[in-house]
Structure 1
Amino acid sequence: MAHHLVRRPLRRAVAAAACLATLAAASGCSSAGGGDAVRIGVGGQPLLVYLPTTLAQQLGYYKKEGVQVRLADLQGGSKALQAMQGGSVDVVSGYYDHTIQMQAKHKDVVSFVNMLRYPSLVLAVSPKASKKIDSVDDLKGAKVGVTAPGSSTDFFLKKLLADHGMKADAASVQGIGGDSTAVAAMEQGRVDAAVMLDPAVSQLQKRAGAKRVKILTDTRTERGVKEDFGVSTYPAAVLYSDRDWLEDHPDQARKLAKAIVRALKYIDTHSAKEIAAKMPRKYAGDDPAVYEKAIAQAKDAYAKDGLIRPDGAAAVHKVLSAFTPEIAKADVDLKKTYTNEYLK
């Protein structure tokens, strides 16, 4: 297949140009010749759902496995996916949702290590909401914040709206980022509600007062996942790349997966205080105690072995199909959306 053979060097040329243009400041991209560094775009690096990606770097696990990594904070899963498609990153630390979304568009994007077994998404109401919001039904016509339109926070909002008999555009979606920008948007009432992630949720509750931040739905626990998704495990944050890259770089993919599993084991066997101490100080904001508490609450949500299981993948597909017609209509082969091969 000649077009397939031509595409890879072309992708590398595009990748080098895009890297220099868009990520030089953010991640210190590798040279135009490609280098040995794997560029990982993170869909919001301070967010606890992506903590294993950064923790593996902080603990030196990538280097110990023999792979050089450069992380780029892209502040939203959809932006990270776009960066991979444009060639400015090789791998994405994002949500598994996007591999199914891409498969429905006949593009082979493959998850190869799972970091999170609960999505850890929280739908919260702003203490300065412009209207009374007591349930998801009240979101009709409201301004609702997500990390970025097209991200998994946006998917989750649309799922909740569909569950309550509303159209996907019943609420006005606003991109507010995932960390301090999300906290500020909620504090100032620029949005009426938001789909948030920790540590932002915990920081908002501390700053505004826990009683003033109404939580409508919470998937940080197994109970919440069962209530919202009907399953006990739901693959969320993963590392994914396109099939071409994985086939061209099997050793690097294997080393990345192994480093992430080592980070997951560290999380499982160390205290929140010890984990927080290893992370960049800026992620804790101005309240390290809140950051540490958020990690303690999140510990159970992290995957143990990095595997994605068929029932979890099927649950994600079922949820996405409920509010995304193109996914519902597409003949999605879930076996093409993930692999556990690099965990062996």
Structure 2
Amino acid sequence: MVEGTAGPASERDVATTLMDREAAESGAAVGRMIEANLTRLTALGERLRAAPPARIVTIARGSSDHAATYGKYLIETMIGVPVASAAPSVASVFSANVAEEPATLCIAISQSGRSPDLLATVTAQRAAGAHIVALVNDEQSPLAQQADTLVALSAGPEKSVAATKSYITALAAQALMVALWSENEALLTAVNSLPGELERACGLDWSSAVPALRDATNMFVIGRGYSFGIAQEAALKFKETCALHAEAFSAAEVRHGPMTIVRAGFPVLGFATSDTAGDSVREAAQEFAARDALLRVADPAGNGEAALPAIPAHPAIEPILMVQSFYRMVNALALARGMDPDKPQYLSKVTETR
């Protein structure tokens, strides 16, 4: 149970959990993040335009790795530089060297900045000549000390094991970085609107998904493009807070075999942005609906009985708003399933993988 509350998890009010309260702080946290990093990310953008990186490597685990997936789509669609995710065990387990490439940008993302395998990988990338950009919530952490460019997530203390506001600030920080690097005024304007829009998104009603998923044992979460990393994060949150087995798929990839599983009553949650990638999610949802799947789709267009409300915005920003709404729903679902979303069994806040 959460400190200061009584009774089983299923009897507690949603707002009594740390997870719900911390997720609701995301708008204010993003505002702090923008203020803290605008100058340094403007300088980083100028540096990257003057000396474009030949490759970009991301280093992260768990929710932070899903944030990196979001950043990959931003960078590859708006900058054009290929982005690859490093396997931390290459450095921490195999002690393998990284080929020298001074024109490498390394983006490391972590709430704690203390995981040994992440730090070992950053050390290896630095030794190979990479410029290290660290997105980290703990500014006193070892990761922060290794950064060439430190991006303070500024989310504040996050006591619930389930990451929420630190994940959202990591998404917003990458959107800000890319907007300044690419000099994309439309994206920059959308990022600056995030604090207020996140407040709105926190108040959207996704409660219809709770009874639909209360007794589920397996499900799919689908997205595409900018929303794919959010689908990955949602699938993780279903597992860690609700003990519900969920798999994340691209709306394209789900057609290569996994869709065979989707029959009548099989739960599917989709994240559909207002661009052509979102059209792909909507098309997959229509196909699943024809099989009588148990369907819910976050969609700014808001069409159909299965639609969950979502705020229309820049397509790259819509997924950030969607995950804000999702967190309140999954917190309520965990309680409805008799789980404590703040203290998932077998998990701790800092996972020190090696």
Q: Report the TM-score, using the length of structure 1 for normalisation.
A: 0.32
Q: Report the TM-score, using the length of structure 2 for normalisation.
A: 0.31
